[in-house]
Amino acid sequence: MFRFALNRALTAIPTLLIVTLMVFGIQRSLPGDPATILAGEQKDPEVIAFLRERYRLDDPVPVQYLAWLGQVARGDLGTSLRTNQPVSELILEKLPVTIELALLSLLVAVAIAIPAGVVAAVRKGSLADHSATVFALSGLSVPNFWLGIMLILFFSVQLRWLPASGFVPLLEDPIENLRRMLMPAFVLGTGLAAVLMRQMRSSMLEVLQQDFVRTAHAKGARGIVVIVRHAMRNALLPVVTVLGLQLGALLSGAVLTEQVFTIPGFGKLVVDAVFNRDYAVVQGVVLFTAAAYIAINLVVDVLYAVLNPKIAFLGRG
Amino acid sequence: MTRAASVSSAPRGGVATWWTRQRGLRRMVKRPLPVFGLVVVLLFVVVAAAAPWLAPYEPARTDFGALRQAPSTAYLLGTDEIGRDVLSRVIHGARASLQAGVISVLIALALGVPLGLVAGYYGGVVDELIGRVTDALLAFPFLILAVALAAALGPSLTNAMIAIGIASAPTFVRLTRGQVLAVRAEDYVQAAVALGARDLRLLARHVLPNAFAPILVQATLTIAGAIIAESSLSFLGLGVQPPTPSWGGMLNVAKNFLVQAPWMAIWPGVSIFLTVLAFNLFGDGLRDALDPRDAA
């Protein structure tokens, strides 16, 4: 098991290095002098000189890359031009908001997807199955920012039940925070629910055909017990992997959802940075998300191996 | 040499698969949802192609006497914040969306399929290297990558399509690579290798034709994703630039007028939803029809 985890971690390292090369490459491919670009609109000669020094821009490109990589490895992602704050500080400041949004949407998604997927599989071909399939396809096809706009139109403009935008920190007023997170979490959760439901349905269908399920039925276990205790537990495994892979989609969705509901999270940070030409922030955020994605999928893979020892065994061969 | 030709022209598995596919396609035509998808896709293609003739007004024509007017007989879907006809703009918006969907996927195919072929065919260090680059690309959340590229290249429809194309390429690399590995193990390919068929011939005659169906299915489904991606970027202001009409761009403005002009927000979104749904339904239908595993 330990060897599997170690092996898996070792393959993540070259991937991570390629990610840094790409981020470095994107930044260097911007037309013009990097220091002038990073200095933003002001073009203050002092700032430009400082940046030339800091990023070793007078050295050969490989040296520049290694110098930058060294700074990144120490957690130094550069400084925002707008606020003069370190980029890593900005990220840590905005991240909790997005994590809360992501966790709430995950809750919404799981609450919809798991029961719907199980029912659709158990009653395959029934009206419930067909409606679940139609729901999943619609969930995949609806642009989440538009769904957000429609919810605002209905619940905020028409019914006046929920505020359309504005954010209240969780620690300041938990109830008000949840009230304002309700629509964003639902919007972000439906897309994920569609993907998870399809996965749950197909893996449940596969498990239901297996011998141990038939055995459980044959020994006289009640239908619901067989479904929950025997089939569902095994069908959940591939769903966990899909969940890890959906993390990127969840973050992409969060960028849009935060824009619609003006939530000051991670996604809004990137979009605002793009419009402010605050390249250091864009670069730092892109690098951070890619690294986080690799790390989380590493954890998911190892967890998966813990839950299903066959994987680690096969991985050894 | 003649033997090699006879081996390649009648691959063992090939004929059976061809029959199952024919049957599959016929089954698909009988099912309502994929057909509905195809019809809606074609409908939007016609709307996009004939936009100048179908639209009642010029999409950029402003009527300052009719700002944010509710739907009426003159303006069937109402007007926007500077008096432009929403219906005409929705009709013209189909062009950006379909163009982005198709061209992004062509870019993704042009990048992904050759890399997948090379990785799967040669294996070894090349495969390892391409695999790591693909993993690295997949690590960037789609929209974050597109936002970063749009920021680097400047916001425009062309750059949005390039960004979406690059971000979608990894799927095709992995898919093509998997197909190559599967086909390589087949007896008839082994036979062709034994008879001295060269690399290019093997790839062109045996590998690509077999990989075609799954790639086609994936391409159809990726068009759906690419249309959402383009409208998302345009919604953020990083795609199609005003005054050119795009569904995402229209929603970006509409969200500021939800109280005064809710009609501005409805139809561009319905259009995105219908187009994407249609591609998804059609792609799903194609997959069921072309997948021999379900053919029984």
pLDDT tens per residue, range B125-142: 999 899 888 988 888 887
Residue with tokens 């981020």: A23
pLDDT band at B170 (very low <50, low <70, confident <90, very high): very high
CB-based contact A149 B280, cutoff 8 Å: no
End-to-end CA distance of chain A: 13
Predicted structure pTM score: 0.85
Quote the pLDDT of residue A313: 60
Secondary structure of residue B85 in the 3-state scheme: strand
What kind of fold does domain B3-59+77-295 have according to CATH? MetI-like fold (1.10.3720)
DSSP type of residue B73: S
> pLDDT at residue B9 above 50?
no
pLDDT digits (tens, 9 = 90+) for B44-81: 999 989 888 987 888 877 777 777 778 887 778 888 77
pLDDT averages per 10-residue partition of chain A, 317 residues: 80 87 80 70 76 77 85 84 85 90 92 91 86 88 93 86 78 82 92 90 86 80 77 81 80 89 88 82 88 85 75 55
Chain A neighbors of B235, CB-CB under 8 A: 143, 145, 256, 259
> pLDDT at residue B291 above 80?
no
Distances (CA, A) of B116 to A17, A35, A185, B225: 21, 37, 37, 21
Taking the domains of chain A in order of start, what are their residue ranges?
A: 87-275
Quote the pLDDT of residue A31: 67
Would the CA dihedral through B146, B150, B156, B162 be positive or negative? negative
The CA distance from A257 to A174, in Å, is 20
CB-based contact A256 B232, cutoff 8 Å: yes
CB A57 within 8 A of CB A35: yes
Taking the domains of chain B in order of start, what are their residue ranges?
A: 3-59+77-295
The CA distance from A10 to A241, in Å, is 19
Secondary structure of residue B35 in the 3-state scheme: helix
> pLDDT at residue B1 above 70?
no
Interchain contact A10–B (C-beta under 8 A): no
CB-based contact A252 B269, cutoff 8 Å: no
Chain A neighbors of B259, CB-CB under 8 A: 157
Q: How far is B290 from chain A (nearest CA, A)?
A: 18
Nearest CA in chain A to B263: A153
Quote the pLDDT of residue B182: 83
Interchain contact A286–B (C-beta under 8 A): yes
pLDDT band at B11 (very low <50, low <70, confident <90, very high): very low
CB A266 within 8 A of CB A285: yes
| Other beta carbons within 10 Å of B289 | 23
CB-based contact A149 B150, cutoff 8 Å: no
Q: How far is A144 from chain B (nearest CA, A)?
A: 9
Q: What share of chain B is helix, strand, coil (3-state, %, to 5)?
A: 80, 0, 20
Mean pLDDT, to the nearest integer, of B182-201?
A: 79
Quote the pLDDT of residue B17: 57
Name the phi and psi angles at A55, rounded to 5.
-95, 15
Q: How far is A53 from chain B (nearest CA, A)?
A: 23
CB A146 within 8 A of CB B251: yes
CB-based contact A293 B140, cutoff 8 Å: yes
Quote the pLDDT of residue A208: 83
Name which of B133, B147, B232 is nearest A145 (Cβ-Cβ): B232
Nearest CA in chain B to A268: B236
Number of CB pairs, chain A paired with chain B, less than 8 A apart? 138
Chain B neighbors of A22, CB-CB under 8 A: 136-137, 140
Interchain contact A194–B (C-beta under 8 A): no
Which residue in A30, A94, A145 has the most chain B C-beta atoms within 10 A of its own C-beta, making it the best mutation to test that interface?
A145
The CA distance from A188 to A265, in Å, is 14
Q: How far is A214 from chain B (nearest CA, A)?
A: 23
The CA distance from B133 to A22, in Å, is 9
Quote the pLDDT of residue B155: 84
Quote the pLDDT of residue B23: 66
Name which of A11, A156, A252 is nearest B141 (Cβ-Cβ): A252
String of DSSP letters for B107-132: HHHHHHHHHHHHHHHH-HHHHHHHHH
pLDDT band at B294 (very low <50, low <70, confident <90, very high): very low
Q: How far is A26 from chain B (nearest CA, A)?
A: 7
Where is pLDDT greater, at B28 or B190? B190
The CA distance from A284 to A290, in Å, is 10
Name which of A143, A252, A270 is nearest B231 (Cβ-Cβ): A143
Q: How far is CA A1 from the centre of its chain?
A: 27
Q: How far is CA B209 from the centre of its chain?
A: 20
Nearest CA in chain A to B151: A274
What kind of fold does domain A87-275 have according to CATH? MetI-like fold (1.10.3720)
> pLDDT at residue B148 above 50?
yes
Chain A neighbors of B255, CB-CB under 8 A: 149, 152, 260
Which residue in B40, B133, B255, B291 has the most chain A C-beta atoms within 10 A of its own C-beta, making it the best mutation to test that interface?
B255
> pLDDT at residue B10 above 60?
no
Interchain contact A274–B (C-beta under 8 A): yes
CB-based contact B235 A259, cutoff 8 Å: yes
CB-based contact B148 A14, cutoff 8 Å: no
pLDDT band at B4 (very low <50, low <70, confident <90, very high): very low
Name which of B135, B255, B281 is nearest A137 (Cβ-Cβ): B281
Chain A neighbors of B281, CB-CB under 8 A: 137
pLDDT digits (tens, 9 = 90+) for B220-279: 999 999 999 999 999 998 888 888 889 999 999 888 888 888 888 899 999 999 999 999
Quote the pLDDT of residue B292: 56
Distances (CA, A) of B237 to A14, B240, B252: 34, 7, 8
Quote the pLDDT of residue A238: 79
CB-based contact B280 A141, cutoff 8 Å: yes
Which residue in B97, B130, B135, B137 has the most chain A C-beta atoms within 10 A of its own C-beta, making it the best mutation to test that interface?
B135
Nearest CA in chain A to B224: A141
